[in-house]
Structure 1
């Protein structure tokens, strides 16, 4: 198996699936530690040890399969996909879609054409069809929901209280308690707001890519975008809640499969029309960028910018090589 890149996709998919299912308790501990690490120095140190363990593991994998500089690409995509794979939707679609993503990652690393992804495409169509309706909210409810979203994004679930929502929304405590009797109802409203805000972003139509832009300008824009992203905590809290609570499984399809529109436009500009960019490749790039955003969120702006640029250049090397192939 040494040096056989063709054998890597099956290994990657099985590693993600095994981690998210067979070692589910550890997988949750890792993710919850990432969230806690933003507020706790002790948890931050634990997260750094987790990061070192995974980095060493993926170096051994890279050596075994001959991935070379593709090590960081595989590591980042695993970091994100192992998070999303915790969210269970339909086992057959989830496993088949994961296999397709693994083959897409293998194609990147081997400089081969992107394979078809019928399972992921079907899951994407079903996710669009099953989008929950946007609820009607009166002005007070809208203010409270917005305040709840901000609190979860900034402080996590622990920071979400009726009093905090009242203060943030500029309303009395009595009004908030009347609208949301329990903490559970308040939490549901917050997650609903986070979900709708992020799904709205995922579904927003993008302008046609300006292929006349210079490659350096595109990379500069990506570096700045990823380096400056903040406030993802709400989405990650929501994702963990969906992964833990079977009653929220209907959200899993949208969170897992409606990704990549922004990435698709970016990649089309990168390859400058030399080939088509598929939804599978866009999802891969979105996965890489999401992981990079999450892992660099606690770094200083200058350090984050340098690290993001280095890793982006690595993945874009494979994107460009695929375009030549």
Structure 2
């Protein structure tokens, strides 16, 4: 018979996939595990410690799974040509078959934003994946491209959790992997008809956002801003009222429930993401390559956390009622990165939309890792990774 402590851990892991930590209370976990609330504190001492134990259990399962993935191609001749297929398959199986573990990893990243208890656990996830890609990089002869492969994987595996059409998503992922492969092998970039189709559909089918009056629009913006700063768990009507400079009664009148307020916050985050995605080449586009490099490094190190976007991506990935946002979030990536990357590689060749999307994934992963670090070591790491990528691209 399964011990009650294990039932609590499994209940938390299942809930991370469907709703996340913000909706978890001791009473809710007790009901899911069919065990008394007092047992949580008997076994773990606190909800935080239960979440930590659940992360450790998820890490243990992920280690076993990754070790098995490496044994799956034992005996395959070392060399680069098999890499794109491997890269796409790892992402697809992680985001679909191991979906519970994928949500546990992203939940840990979000928890670590505001709670020091989870920062070592988030670092452990990072080291687990780095080690895996170091081993894979050696087997596929990626050389200096190994850290780049990990950076792109870290963000693309997140985006692949957002579902649109299964066939198109899988075919577009294969194309993404092939373009990454041409980067790392310094070969010509192939055509990407599936990604081009999905991108065109994303432009055509952008959902209409509700028309808001001035007061409601202030609340939407304040809710989005609060989620970016403090996360979903701390979102309350009073907190949004304070942020918007409105009365609690006014916010409660416009958005009566916590669920309605949360949807308003996600609406604001989506609109902000969409404005950024549609923004064209972006402010970093400049004829001066060195100034662009400095601007990218500064943006990554000083830039705001990607927490708001990550909260939105996780919510869209787990909640079918938000699926109308997924197509744009997934396939319009890179519009603001194209001019920047073009400046960095020069005019010798034209950057494609898929390359711009890959560069967006690369820099987004850097922001997730280094934003707010503010150390010379972090600055060196950022510049070294970007320099390695540009050396490959040129």
When normalised by structure 1's length, the TM-score is 0.94
Does 1:296 find its partner at 2:370?
Answer: yes
RMSD (Å) for aligned C-alpha atoms = 1.5
Could you list the per-position Cα deviations for residues 90-146 of structure 1 after superposition, in whole angstroms to 9, with x for gaps in the alignment? 101110000000000110010001111110010001001111123322121111111
Q: Does 1:45 align with 2:130?
A: no
Q: Is structure 2 residue 274 aligned with structure 1 residue 199?
A: yes
Match of 1:20 in 2: 95
Report the structure number with the largest CA radius of gyration: 2
TM-superposed CA distance for 1:262, in Å, is 2.1
Is the Cα–Cα contact under 8 Å of residues 227 and 296 in structure 1 kept in the other structure?
A: yes
Q: Displacement, 1:206?
A: 3.0
Asked whether 1:126 is paired with 2:201, we answer: yes
Deviation at 1:18, TM superposition (A): 0.5
Q: Is the 8 A contact 2:78 2:140 kept in 1?
A: yes
Over 3 Å counting, the alpha-carbon distance change for 1:207 and 1:87 in structure 2 is closer
Per the alignment, residue 181 of structure 1 pairs with 256
Answer whether contact 1:2 1:66 (CA < 8 A) is retained: no
Q: How does 1:12-91 map to 2 (within 5 A)?
A: 12-91=87-166
Q: Partner of 1:37: helix, strand, or coil?
A: helix
Mark the CA change 1:269 to 1:189 in structure 2 (over 3 Å): closer, same or farther.
same
- Checking the alignment, whether the CA contact within 8 Å between 1:209 and 1:269 is kept in structure 2 is no
Q: 1:111 aligns with which of 186, 189, 200?
A: 186
1:49-89 deviation per Cα after TM superposition (whole angstroms, max 9, x unaligned): 11111111001001100000110000011100110111111
- Partners of 1:211 and 1:270 within 8 A in 2: no
Show the counterpart of 2:78.
3
> Is residue 276 of structure 1 aligned with residue 350 of structure 2?
yes
Unpaired segments of 5 or more residues in structure 2?
Answer: 1-75
Report which stretch shifted further, 195-204 or 218-227.
218-227
Q: So what's the TM-score if we normalise by structure 2? A: 0.78
1:222 equivalent to 2:296? Answer: yes
Per-residue CA shift, 1:136-192, capped at 9, x if unaligned? 221211111111011100000012101111111111111111111100000000000
Gaps of 5+ in 1: 321-325
1:323 aligned partner:
none
Which of these residues, 155, 171, 177, is aligned with residue 96 of structure 1? 171
